[in-house]
């Protein structure tokens, strides 16, 4: 009897001969075993790549830590430099006149000796004058060493940058706008005016002979 004429079961299934035909094993599909991957299936290349990534991560972390330490040390050194600079500025401000002050000590000693001699009436006036002249020379020398120079513009043209006019004086002998008299000397410190000289300025008298 041909394959087409083989008897069928009431549900359209084949007979027992058909049941003996080998069927695919789908048990593994049903229990999900096809998703399981054996550790032995992981290739050596995959392990090697993981090791390389971990090594790169470790190196990056080490470098980051090193740079962080360097940054902290640099910040600390910058702060130390700032503090040292501030101390130097403070010291320079406090002791800038130290050298000049040392020079003035001798001047004061000389003045005190002259005053003591005058109070005791034990010295003659010529010697007192000589002592005062010596003291004045000492003071001028000390000021010069410190960069302090006098402004004594007698007969010079009036210069408002260095001179302060307190009055005017008619004169036929002096050029107009020249310094006729110095009431008080001025001083400069390394070229910068400490005090302007107080002067009387000449002006035409208006007499034409």
Asked which of 146, 179, 196 is the last residue of a domain, the reply is 146
For the chain, the average pLDDT equals 80
Q: How confident is the model at residue 23 (pLDDT cuts 50, 70, 90)?
A: low
Q: How confident is the model at residue 44 (pLDDT cuts 50, 70, 90)?
A: low
pTM score, whole prediction: 0.55
**Angle at which helices 125-145 and 98-120 pack, to 10 degrees?**
170
* Among 209, 206, 156, 207, residue whose Cα is nearest residue 186: 156
Residue 70 domain-assigned?
no
**Range list of β-strands (E), 20-152:** 148-151
Residue 12 domain-assigned?
no
Token pair listed for 24 = 């695919």
| Residues in a beta bridge with 148 | 189
What is the C-alpha to C-alpha distance for residues 203 and 180, in angstroms, rounded to an integer? 9
Quote the number of domains for the chain.
2
DSSP 45-80: HHHHHHHHHHHHHHHHHHHHHHHHHHHHHHHHHHHH
pLDDT tens-digit readout, 148-200: 999 999 999 999 999 999 999 999 889 999 999 999 999 999 999 999 999 99
Residue 103 domain-assigned?
yes
pLDDT tens-digit readout, 58-84: 888 888 888 888 899 999 999 999 999
Q: How confident is the model at residue 3 (pLDDT cuts 50, 70, 90)?
A: very low
Mapped onto helix, strand or coil, the DSSP state of residue 132 is helix
Q: Which CATH number does the domain housing residue 163 bear?
A: 2.30.22.10
Describe the chain by its helix, strand, coil percentages, rounded to 5: 55, 15, 30
Q: Are 159 and 202 in a shared domain?
A: yes
Asked which of 146, 163, 182 is the last residue of a domain, the reply is 146
Give the rounded distance of the alpha carbon of 194 from its chain centre.
30
Asked which of 146, 180, 200 is the last residue of a domain, the reply is 146
The pLDDT value recorded for residue 42 is 54
Task: Check if the beta carbon of residue 107 is closer than 8 Å to that of residue 135.
Answer: yes
Q: Domain residues for 112? A: 82-146
Q: How confident is the model at residue 123 (pLDDT cuts 50, 70, 90)?
A: low
Token pair listed for 38 = 């054996």
Q: Are 118 and 152 in a shared domain?
A: no
pLDDT score of 39 more than 90: no
N-terminal to C-terminal alpha carbon distance within the chain: 171
């Amino acid at each position: 009897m041909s394959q087409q004429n083989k008897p069928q079961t009431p549900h359209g299934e084949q007979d027992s001969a058909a049941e003996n035909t080998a069927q695919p094993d789908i048990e593994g599909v049903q229990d999900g075993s096809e998703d399981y991957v054996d550790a032995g299936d992981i290739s050596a290349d995959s392990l090697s790549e993981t090791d390389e990534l971990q090594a790169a991560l470790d190196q990056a972390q080490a470098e980051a830590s090193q740079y962080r330490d360097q940054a902290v040390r640099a910040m600390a050194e910058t702060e130390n430099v700032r503090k040292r600079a501030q101390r130097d500025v403070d010291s320079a401000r406090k002791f800038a006149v130290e050298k000049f002050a040392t020079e003035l000590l001798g001047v004061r000693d000389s003045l005190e000796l002259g005053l003591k001699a005058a109070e005791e009436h034990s010295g003659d006036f010529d010697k007192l004058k000589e002592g005062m002249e010596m003291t004045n020379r000492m003071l001028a020398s000390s000021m010069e060493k410190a960069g302090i120079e006098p402004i004594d513009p007698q007969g010079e043209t009036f210069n408002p940058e260095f001179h302060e006019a307190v009055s005017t004086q008619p004169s036929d002998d002096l050029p107009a706008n020249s310094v006729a008299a110095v009431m008080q000397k001025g001083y400069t410190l390394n070229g910068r005016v400490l005090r302007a000289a107080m002067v009387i300025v000449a002006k035409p008298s208006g007499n034409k002979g």
